[in-house]
Structures are given as C-alpha cells and as structure tokens.
Chains A and B, each alone.
Chain A
Amino acid sequence: MSMLAYAESATSSSSDTEPDAQVDFTTMLVQRQRGCESGSKLHTTDADQEQQEQDQGYYLEQYVLGVLDFSSQYGIDYSISYTASNVIGRPTKFPAYGDYPETFTMRTYGDWWQRAPSATRDIQPQNMPPIDTHDYIVVYFEEFVVPTEVAIFETFNPGAVVRIWAYSMTKHWHCLWEATAKDLNYLCHDSRRFAPPLKKTSIITKTLRIEFNHSNLNYYTEIDAIMLCGRTVSHRRIQNLLGKARAHSQTQISLAASALGSSSTALAVGHGPISCKLRSLKFQPICRSDNNADADPVTGACKKFINDFINNDLSQFLLDNRLANEMVEQQQQQQLQEMQLTPANVHAQAAARRICLTDLPFEILLKILSYLDLQSLFRVGQVSRIFYDISTHPLLYVEINLKPYWQLANSELLCTLARRATILRKLDLSWCGGFGDVSPTEFKKFLTQRGDNLTHLRLNSCKFLNASCIETVGIVCDNLNELSLRNCATDPPLLNFSCLVNLKNLERLDLFQTAFETELLLSMLEGNRKLKHLNLAFCGVSVNMDNVAAHLANYNTQLVSLDMWKAHFLTARGLQSLSHCHQLEELDLGWCLREASLGDGLYQLLVNCPKLRKLFLSAVRGTTEHDLRHIAQLGKNLEQLDLMGILNITHERVYDILIHCPKLQLLDLSFCENIMDRDFDILADWSRLFKVNIKSSRIYDPR
C-alpha cells in the first residue's frame, strides 16, 4: 500500500506529506530486492551510503496492507461500509470528524449490550484484567520494522484503544502499550491521531493487534487508518532471524508455559506424556545452601534445618518479636551458636511459636486460593509442596477462562490444565490459539478427556478449530447449555451436516459472524426446545431467515433474545413467525427486511411479545408511521430502542414514544433524515427531561 520513506541521512522535511510523494510500492520492493541503487528512495544517495543504510535500515512509516482478523465489525463482509477492511491504506476521512461509513466500526459501544437481556457473565471472572478487552483487530503491514510509533487515526468518538500488541519474528506477541484508567476517560469530541508512547523494544514486526474497550464510549468509535512507524531491517538480517526463529521454535513453546508461571520450568524440548508429567512434578523450594556454606561449620543434615530457619523463619521470628535492625546481627550469632548445639529443636521451636498459613484446614486454603486468577494460582503452586497440592485441586478448575491469556495459551497449557480440571464445567478458550499455538489434536484430546460435563463452552475467534474439532464438541459435550462460536466464518463452513445435532440442552447459541449450513441450524433448533438466546448476526446471507423464523415459531417458543443483524432477506412472513415467541425480550432486526414492507408484522410482534425490552430496527426502512405509533402504544417495557435511519420519524413521533415508554433508556435516532436540524435542540431537552439517552449522529451518509 502507500508508504512514505525517509532516508536516514536526509534532514527532516515536511514536503513528503504531499500526495505527490506517494511512490509505487511494488516497484520499490522489486528494485530493492534486485539491489538496485536508484529510484527506491525519495532522496537518492550514492552507493556506499545506500549500503550503509541497507544495513542500518531507515525510518519508515507505513499504513495497513491487510486485515488478518477482527472480533466484530458493524458492516457485513461484502459491503464497504463500516467494515474492518476500511482500515487498510491511507486515512480517507481524517482529520474530519463524524460518522462516516468509510471507516472501521465495531458492533457495540458503551455498556448497552451488558444491560440487555442477552448479556452473559464472564467465566472465571477473577482472571479478567481491570481494563478488559471487548474487541480487537489484527492487521499486517508490508515491511518488517523495529516499531517506534503506532498511530491510530480515530475519526469518531475516540478513546477506545486499550492495548497495542506486536507479533515479533520470534512468534511472540509483545505488548507495546497498555491503557490506564485515565486513558479511557478521553472525552474530547474531535478526530485524533492517537500515538501513545510505546515500550522500548528491539523486536522486529509487521503485524499489529489493536485492542478496544467500549465501556466509556458515548456512541460507536470509528478508526480510519493505522500507521506503523519504525526502523527497517536489512533483508539479510531478516533471513538470519527467520532461520534462528525456526530453530528456536521448539523452546519457545515451553517458554510460553513458563511465562504463565506454571511449574514446567524446564526448557526441555520433549512433548511426550512422560516429559510433560516430569515437568509438572518439578517445583522449586527456595534453598540457598550454597551461599551460607562458609557461614556455619556444621555439616550434614543440620545444614538444611539451619538454612531453612535462617532463610525462612528467622526474619519472621525477629519481626514478630519486634527486634531492631541493629540487634539482628547479634541475635543471628546467638541463634547460630544455640542451633549448633541443638539443631533438631530449631524446627520444633519455630513450629510451636507460630501458626503458618499452611496450618489452616484444607477447605479454608482452597477458599483463599479460589479468589486468585489463573496466573497467580500457577505462581502460588511453586511456593511449596503443600501449596502445589492445593493449587492443583480440581475444585479450583471448575471454570477455566484463557481469553485474557490468549497470547500465552498453547497446547502445553491445555495439557497441564487437562490434568487438573477433572470436574470442568465452564471453558472459555476465546481468542486463543491463533498462529498455530494450539493444535486441533490437543484441543480434541482435552475435550475428550474433560468435556463430558461441560455446561458452557466459548470458542469465539478460535482459529485452530476445524471440522473434526466441532464434531468432537458435538459428540462429547452433550450437556452443553451454552455454546458460543462467534467469528468462525470459514469457507467451507465449519459447522456442517449434523455435527452438532447431538446437543439437546442448549439454552444459548451464539453464531455471530459464523458460517454454517442451514440444515444444521434448523435441526439444532428442532432439537433444542429450551433455547433462550440465539445470535445469528451476519448469518443472513447464506441462510434463509424466514425458514429459521418459522422453525423458531414451531420449536423454540421459549426464546428470550434473538439477534438477526443484517439479515437482509428476512421478509414480513418471517417477522410474523417471530410473534409466536411470546417470551421475547430482545430482538435485533438491524438492517433486516430490506426488500419488503413490514405489513402488520411489527404490530403483531408488539402485541404478542409484551415483555420486549430491547428492539433494534436500525435501517429497517419499511417502518411506517403507524408502526411508530404502535411502538409507543404497546412498548410498555421497552428499554433500548434503535430507530436509526428510519425515514418516517418526525419529532412528534419521538415525543409520543418518549411519553408512552416509561422505561426507555436508550433511543438511537441517528440518520433519521426527517428530523430537522432545528429539532435536535428540542431532542436534547427531551433527553434530559425524560432521562433517556438519545443518540443522533447526523452527518449525511448515502447508504
């Protein structure tokens, strides 16, 4: 893509930001590979200087070449509006500020989705960091560089970026920057070139992962472009490093496990069951016997007692008796002499004087450790044998969440956890295993061993999944209540022919942005009569949503929440079917029903589903004024209402709704072209009066 190159020797000049400075990139690459001297840089130099620069590298700024992965986007894949691919290349709108479809936008903002009926609870919540990640995008650039700056061009509601990761050539993710609480409180409503101070690093990368947290956002945040700046590295050096990386890849795998603090501290390369077992049995009690060898002349077994006491108990002993620092030396000498005479008593004395943590009963220690996150639990297990035994007790592994450790999760970790998690009930492996860290075989083995009692399984954005993994889920995990397979849009679809029909107890099924065969979904709907939450966002392209709606009406009348975002080809017939689900509390029909008028579908829905709390009709252009009247009359329990882009709204209808829906908290009136500009001041007043959050982004957008 486009790129601005600066030669190292050149004085800095701002002339390169002009559009003419854009250079044909492919030619440059080819020329450099051929070792061509001229034409590849803006400031041409002579031969030896170029050689020097090729070795040292030069400062380079580059924009995104492509997107590898993203957790969610607002637009649908084949469209160009509000999709992840808009982040590629130069910024198109920056420095303008507004709601533009030529940017990358994610699906959620604020905490509205956490307040909706379909909200879920985190598995093993103590693992989550104080500022957790809601969404991410992984992008790659053209050239390897040593990163010095990452600039993110935010053109709407800035302030959601919380982490920047870089994937080094040693196949590790490095966190270059992490937000603190005050970074999230950025309230300025203007476009921003966000370039936080990065950690000093010498890694070489061309792949970045940007993580977002939406909780403080007023409305959607939009990203126009991402720029990676750094010093390039010569090709020779890259080849060397790639070679070394391959050789070290074996040891890197076990490094990751030890980074998590697990007891597999050895850098041994063996992966078989015996070496795994050996590694897990090793732990390291602290024993500095070599240092104190000259301090005491006593030999034999006494040495160990004395050293233990000196290292572990003595300082505590002294602290307890509140002896001043100056007396420490004296005491130490005295104690040493005493102990030389009666070494066996030392231990007994120390024990009798104090209870230590490990004297507490087992259940209490278990309870204490149950508050710890997974990483701390592994660390605690290294302290002593007793702690190791407690920290590996299965009751601490009833819920496992590896999502906050996505960069560390690998097959070995799964192996270690499989040994401990004998009564596993909830498992979250979302975002793990990208770039081949987790093998499908290991995952299947884990599931076969421990998956039979699973009630909740979340495998969002798991790139290691293949068809046989899903089959294993279907065969082994027949007690599943919740299955979440977001963002698995592979082609051919992962979810095919009858692989999950064995699941009969599902209450929650999340297939956001995932491809599947229609017959599979229909047979699953037939089999899971207790289904309460169903998310089929972005699935409406290849799936006939009318048929799905008809099935729901027949088999899944307990449905509480349904998300059919961007199901363009849903018709009024489908909408009619949905009114058979009387328990509906949440319905997201954003961008649906493109082809047709609603008929009296919306009216039937509102009449038959009185519990409706969240109704999204974003860009459902067939909504008539009658429908809006019905919403006001019948939507007694409505809390969140999205009427973005509906043309028939006037401010009278808005007033109607505000008066008659007492529980309303969120009302999205963005892009409602019938509401005049002057009316927006009145809207602001009403927003305060009725205590409803009214959204009204109104930059003209030709959709």
Chain B
Amino acid sequence: MYSFIPRAAPIHRDVTVQTSNGCQYRVKSELANQMVAIRCLLAKSADISVIPLEDIDSETFELVLKWCRTVRDSKVTLNEHSARTMFKKLVQESIDDRIMIYKLILAANFLDIESLWGATTQHLSDEINECKSVQDMNKIFNVK
C-alpha cells in the first residue's frame, strides 16, 4: 500500500507555501518530498517562489507538517499497522473534533501524501466499524 512511486524528481530546496488564510510556511525539503503534489508542481515549473494552497488552512497545514515530521523521524518501517498507531497518537495529541480529520483527509488528498491519506481513511473506517447501529452512525458522523 505504501510503495512510493515517485512521479517527479525529489526536491532539494526548501519551499514556501501559503495557506488559504494568508499564512506562509517555509517547508523543509525532506518534508516537502512527502507531498507528491508539490513535487509534481515544481517539476513542471521550477521557479515558483510561493506555492498557494487554496483549500487548506493554517491549522490543518500545521497538522500535516506534524504528520510528515513523525513519518520522517520514525525508525519503524511504514506499514499499515505502524501508520495506524502513529495516527492514533496524533489524534490523541492534537485533534479535538472530527471535522479536523475531514480537513486532514482533504489536505492529504490535495497534497497527495499517501501515508497520511491511508492513515486517515483507515482511522475513519475503524470508527465506522465501531458503530453498533445506524443511530450511532448518524450521531457520530452527523449524517443527515
């Protein structure tokens, strides 16, 4: 699941990213390399100074960076099981409500970070599994 197919050459410099609410972030190259969308963008036009992220706000982006840092620092090989535990830890530490997880999924989808996308979807699927009844599902996921 996590076989990384690099579709574009790795980045060697730090990139600047601007989130939807105007904040700019300087992202180290090793973290930016996990975001395949940014790699593809830079491969096409190498001289972009600031990359705009219209759909991602600062809070979400900081969580994304946190995840990327955890992946970079982890000594265990990244498979399904380890990603699950890592993500659970992240949720316990920094995420208060479910909307944040939805925003994280959308961010992972947009930035094409395979590990985060797998971990978030797996997490939600585990939560669905824990629901014992249809009412539970409605309540927890706010389904109309």
Question: Which residues of A does B touch, CB under 8 Å?
Answer: 284, 286, 308, 311-313, 315-316, 320, 354-361, 363-364, 367-372, 376, 379-380, 382-384, 386-387
Contact = CB atoms under 8 A, between A and B. Distances in A.
Contacts of B103: 355
Contacts of A356: 141-144
A357 B139 contact: no
Interface of B: 97, 99, 102-103, 105-106, 109, 117, 121-122, 124-126, 128-129, 134-135, 137-139, 141-144
B134 A383 contact: yes
Contacts of A386: 143
A140 B15 CA distance: 72
A320 B97 contact: yes
A360 B134 contact: no
Nearest to B118: A367
Nearest to A261: B134
Contacts of B142: 312-313, 316, 354, 356-357
Contact of B138 (A320, A363, A383): A383
Nearest to A283: B134
Given A313-B144, A369-B128, A372-B129, 15 more contacts: A284-B134, A286-B138, A312-B143, A313-B142, A356-B143, A356-B144, A357-B124, A361-B106, A361-B109, A368-B124, A368-B128, A376-B128, A382-B134, A384-B138, A387-B137
B97 to A, nearest CB: 7
A312 B122 CA distance: 25
Contacts of A364: 105-106, 109, 121
Contact of A357 (B109, B122, B143): B143
A380 B128 contact: yes
28 contacts: A286-B138, A308-B144, A311-B138, A312-B138, A320-B97, A354-B99, A354-B142, A355-B102, A356-B144, A357-B102, A357-B143, A358-B144, A360-B105, A364-B106, A364-B121, A369-B125, A370-B125, A371-B122, A371-B126, A372-B125, A372-B128, A376-B129, A379-B134, A380-B137, A383-B138, A383-B143, A384-B138, A387-B143
Contact of B143 (A358, A372, A376): A358
Chain A CB within 10 Å, residue with most, of B102, B117, B134: B134
B101 to A, nearest CB: 10
A367 B118 CA distance: 9
Contacts of B124: 357, 368
Residue of A311, A312, A358, A368 contacting most chain B CB atoms (<10 Å): A368
A294 to B, nearest CB: 21
A45 B102 CA distance: 74
Nearest to B108: A364
Contacts of A382: 134
A201 B134 CA distance: 28
B125 A312 contact: no
B115 to A, nearest CB: 14
A364 B109 CA distance: 8
Nearest to B137: A383
A448 to B, nearest CB: 33
Nearest to A366: B121
Contacts of A308: 144
Most chain B C-beta atoms within 10 Å of own C-beta, residue among A358, A364, A372:
A364
A592 B143 CA distance: 63
A359 B102 contact: yes
Contacts of B105: 360, 364
A360 B141 CA distance: 12
Contacts of A369: 125, 128
A357 B134 contact: no
A371 B143 contact: no
Nearest to B123: A368
A283 to B, nearest CB: 10
B113 to A, nearest CB: 13
B140 to A, nearest CB: 8
Contacts of B121: 364, 367-368, 371
A359 B142 CA distance: 10
Contacts of B141: 356-358
A386 B141 CA distance: 13
A676 B35 CA distance: 65
Contact of A384 (B102, B125, B135, B143): B143
Contact of A312 (B102, B129, B139): B139
A387 B97 CA distance: 22
Contacts of B135: 286
A384 B99 contact: no
Contacts of A313: 142, 144
Contacts of B137: 380, 383, 387
Contacts of B134: 284, 286, 379, 382-383
Nearest to B135: A286
Contacts of A376: 128-129
A370 B97 CA distance: 23
A568 to B, nearest CB: 45
Contacts of A284: 134
Task: Rank and list the top 9 A-B pairs by shortest CB-CB distance, nearest first.
Answer: A371-B125, A356-B142, A357-B141, A367-B121, A368-B121, A383-B137, A368-B124, A368-B125, A316-B142
Nearest to A313: B142
A372 B124 CA distance: 10
A286 B102 CA distance: 24
